[in-house]
Amino acid sequence: METLESILADFKARKITEKAAAKKIAELGTIDLGHTKIDASRRARTGAGEVIYGAGKTAAQVLEIAKAIASRGGAVFATRLKKDALALLEKNFEGGRANEIARTFALGGEKKRGCKKFVAIVSAGTSDMPVCEEARETLEFFGERAECFYDCGVAGLHRLLEKIGRISEASVVIAVAGMEGALASVVAGLVKAPVIAVPTSVGYGASFGGIAALLAMMNSCANGVSVVNIDNGFGAAYCAHAICRAK
């Protein structure tokens, strides 16, 4: 197995070129499991380690990836887990945090930093909770403080107005809604903070699995609204974390 020392020795002895040495050193950051190549140097490059996307992976594959990350001292975070994968991670990692609603598992995480205030997660309805919980777990894993405001949809505007004072104190707001997706525009018209809109697949037939909400949010007339993909609570939370980290 090649090491940094052996690569540098080969370069010093002119057995390999500078370009070849650089390539070999870069590859040292990869853990090759056969079915998966883990980007072990991602945290050093970007400030955040690789996250396990559980959908489409077997429980055994998820566990093997998690063990490989943990063996190098890395924190483990997995999303979109099936019940068998979630149970297997709980069994093998004492002290981990499983969230069945969010379908996530966390072991360790970043120290609290980032936003001086907090990230507000505002949902239109209870049916949007899985996406909200995914966002909350992601934020907490990356060291951000999150506060959730559930069931504040515009169909009962008074519910949002009852909470808007506290929501306005947030550094970033994540607005999660299905149906017609109007929540993001309403919230953005009431707060100073940037609003990250998350369309969800919640809704009847004409919502087209979240496409109606997605298009509505992308066509928002309110300032400061950015939009992530349908049901992408993780993506919204990571964007919020990046905003907080940049401040």
Instruction: State the pTM of this model.
Output: 0.85
Same domain, 239 and 217: yes
pLDDT in tens, 176-220: 999 999 999 999 999 999 999 999 999 999 999 999 999 999 999
Same domain, 131 and 240: yes
Q: Look at residue 176 and tell me if it is in a domain.
A: yes
Indicate if the pLDDT at residue 29 is higher than 80: no
pLDDT in tens, 59-103: 999 999 999 888 877 789 999 999 999 999 999 998 899 999 999
pLDDT at position 202: 94
Q: Look at residue 42 and tell me if it is in a domain.
A: yes
pLDDT at position 243: 92
Domain boundary among 61, 79, 107: 107
Q: What is the DSSP string of the chain?
A: ---HHHHHHHHHTTSS-HHHHHHHHHHTTEEE-SS-EEETTHHHHHSS---EE-TTS-HHHHHHHHHHHHHTT--EEEES--HHHHHHHHHHSTT-EEETTTTEEEES-PPS-S-SS-EEEEESSGGGHHHHHHHHHHHHHTT--EEEE-S--GGGHHHHHTTHHHHTT-SEEEEEE-TT-THHHHHHTT-SS-EEEEE-S-S-GGGGGGHHHHHHHHT--STTEEE--TT-HHHHHHHHHHHHHH-
pLDDT at position 33: 82
Query: Worst-scoring range by mean pLDDT, 2-6, 50-54, 70-74, 145-149?
Result: 2-6
Indicate if the pLDDT at residue 23 is higher than 90: no
pLDDT in tens, 115-149: 678 999 999 999 999 999 999 999 999 999 999 99
What domain range is 195 assigned to?
119-246
**How many domains is the chain partitioned into structurally?**
2
